[in-house]
Amino acid sequence: MRSGGTTGLWAAAWLAICTACGAAPAVTVHFDDCNPGAPPPGWTPGKTGKGTPRWTVERSAGAPSAANVLQQSGEATYPVCMLNAVQIANGFVAVKFNTVSGREDQAAGLIWRARDTDNYYVARANALEDNVTIYHTIKGKRSEKKRADTKVAPGVWHLLRVDFEGPRFRVTLDGQPALEWQDGTFPNAGAVGVWTKADSHTLFDDFTYESQ
């Protein structure tokens, strides 16, 4: 299934109903039916903190699924972009990412159980620090909970995934276990999306989620 236009909006609405009723099938958003130069339909671009993020769909010859990707090329404390009409309590979220550049940071993250742009869980990979970290953000304040050192090469595509059930979270990078953590701050269903930090210029593709 591909996101974009009326088809993407109807799909999001249908999946929201399925999620509310119980399990929903895994869905992958490729961004290939979206118009380049604008945020993807059915998503809300924004930020935690200050700054001016720039979330746009762009064409990319090296996209894992040609031809479009979701790009963050602005600068803010924490740019976020969340999928509308999808609320998940237990399941997984995954995305392919490419950290193109950034002097202060080169980060790519996944958000889950988000209440809004100031309250959510986030797991991120960082190509400048070569690590994967999990946080919760409460009232706009991010707190690190666990970190694992692992190579995150810049300029190439990686796969980041978070599985969550109740208070248990498991993060994998490129199919390999990175870290596990338990927390009960946000126990209820919430939104899912992607995240970056500071001046990270990051590309995202094949955003996949499932409610279980």
Tell me the C-alpha distance between 44 and 41, whole Å: 8
| CATH architecture entry for 5-211 | Sandwich (2.60)
Residue 157: which of 102, 209, 203, 106 has the closest Cα?
203
Task: State residue 5's pLDDT score.
Answer: 44
Task: State residue 166's pLDDT score.
Answer: 97
Task: State residue 130's pLDDT score.
Answer: 97
Tell me the C-alpha distance between 54 and 80, whole Å: 10
Task: State residue 23's pLDDT score.
Answer: 62
Task: State residue 173's pLDDT score.
Answer: 98
183: its two tokens: 């927390």
Q: Record the pTM.
A: 0.88
Task: State residue 10's pLDDT score.
Answer: 40
Task: State residue 25's pLDDT score.
Answer: 85
Q: Which residues of the chain have pLDDT under 50?
A: 1-11, 13-15, 17-21
